[in-house]
Amino acid sequence: MVWIIIGFLVVGGIVALVIAGQREASSTGEDDLLASRLVEFSERGEVASLEEIELSQPFQERVIVPILLKVGEISTRFTPQHLIEDTELKIELAGNPIRMAASTFLASRFVIAGVLGGFLFIIFLFAPPSAININPYLIVPLFAIVGFFFPQLWLQGKINSRQHEIRKAMPDALDLLTICVEAGLGFDAAMSKVSDKWENELSLSFSRAIREVQLGKLRRDALKDMAERIGLAEMTSFVAAVIQSEQLGVSMAKVLRIQSEQMRVKRRQRAEEEAHKAPVKMIIPMAFLTFPSIFIVLLAPAAFRMANTFGGSGGLGQ
């Protein structure tokens, strides 16, 4: 029962993080949620007070999200600036999956730790002593620490999965870029074709860079920012080659062709590296799962026969 409650608490913390992120994402396009509600009621022709409009919002909009935002504002005052900047960079590297500010994300670590530790403490406090066979003074701090580090581990997992997806999609994207440039399109139009062709993290990064260029940012600055948001050495090398070819007047198609070939070589080398790691990774499951089963199948009949033989001769001699 305790583990079931712990599972519900973890899921509840994750849901709270997602709700807070969605709330912050929606608030970027709305100056005031209550004002939009008031406009909605006025368009319907209904007369409602500010309190009625506020009560018409969902529970998470009225209670959960304001609490998380308030905790984030308070924690910002006591958080070093370099830690906030480092968290913002990690959120960008992860693709900002839950649309959450760095201060709110840092505050969520304390919230989840407090929720897990507090509820477990309450459970151990009111549970009968005969139903608890573990030390609460060890379990409560342990799960509080797990709740504190869980958002950070989750964010690092998102970063790794996003970078793996981008690294896997880069050779095909560079091939399409090369074909489009050789066909006569400009580099920006070729990037737009790539962003329209696929629905992945790389195409989203290209699309964001194109929008930044359309808004007036220099293309080399937009590409550098894109490489920083991705955080891959392959993308940094690609951007550096494109900027250098633009400054020196080298053929863009030739540069893209060379970059595409290099990406394919690197992808083949990574595949070979993973293939060489496979036998080492297979040792543990083979030693603890496969070999014991083989020994049981091969040696069990001989062991039973030897036991019957020696057992029968011993009884005959007596």
Give the pLDDT of residue 288. 85
pLDDT given at position 316:
41
Q: Which of 120, 103, 122, 113 is nearest to 4 (CA)?
A: 120
Residue 162 has pLDDT above 70, yes or no: yes
State the chain's mean pLDDT as an integer: 77
Helical packing angle, 187-197 and 136-182, nearest 10°: 130
Reported as type and span, the H/E element at residue 78 is helix 65-78
pLDDT at 14: 57
Least confident of 7-21, 74-88, 117-131: 7-21
Give the per-residue pLDDT at 250: 80
Give CA torsion, residues 297, 299, 300, 305, to 10 deg.
140
- Domain borders along the chain are 2-133, 165-268
Q: Does 313 have pLDDT greater than 60? A: no
**Number of other residues whose CB lies within 10 A of the CB of residue 65:** 24
Q: How far apart are CA 54 and CA 38, in angstroms?
A: 10
CATH of 165-268, picked from 1.20.81.30, 3.30.980.10, 1.50.10.150, 2.60.40.10, is 1.20.81.30
How far apart, in whole angstroms, are the C-alpha atoms of residue 12 and residue 17? 9
